[in-house]
Amino acid sequence: MRSARLALAFTLTTACAMGSRPPSGPPGRAVVAHVVDGDTIDVTIGGHRERVRLLGINTPEVVDPRKPVECYGPEASALTKKLLSPGTEVRLVRDVEPRDDYGRLLAYVYREPDGLFVNLDLVVQGAAVLLTFRPNTSHAVEFATAAAAAQRAHRGLWAVCRGNP
């Protein structure tokens, strides 16, 4: 828990020091093809498939063969599958860096037509924690505030995971 609080404090400090800026680049329309886990989805864009990593958040691990399934991982994945079932139209908004070291598209994901900000909703429901890498910090303060509220309310992983959520 202490490490989670320190990470939250560091991210808040970094985000506040950098200031908020709007995400760069135009939004992209896509259709969900498959939910990989709580924070990674496959989408179809313009007829081809892309793997998308949801920016600013991290959900407990369930698919990495090198790691055990983490506390609340299956629940986080199930929630993402509920929010983004195959065929769901989404709007992808990028930040500064378009891809990670694994070649995944980095994006804030908004469900259409209701506009649900999926990354934020996962944090609000306690299925995800804050994970910010500069320069992709457009929503860091918003996510940090939601994570602190979820932790205080003992929602999701904050209610069932001991130690390191």
Cβ partners under 8 Å of residue 161, min gap 6: 60, 71, 72
Ramachandran angles phi, psi of 7, nearest 5°? -60, -40
Cα gap 13→10, rounded to integer Å: 5
Between vectors from CA 17 to CA 14 and to CA 22, what angle results, nearest 5°?
Answer: 90
Q: Is 58 helix (H, G, I), strand (E, B) or coil?
A: strand
Residue 107 DSSP SS3: strand
**Catalytic sites, residue numbers:** 53, 61, 104
Here the tokens at position 103 are 């070649």
Q: Which two tokens stand for residue 152?
A: 């205080």
Question: Is residue 27 a contact partner of residue 92, using CB atoms and an 8 Å limit?
Answer: yes
Checking DSSP bridges between strand 48-54 and strand 105-111, what pairing results, if any?
parallel
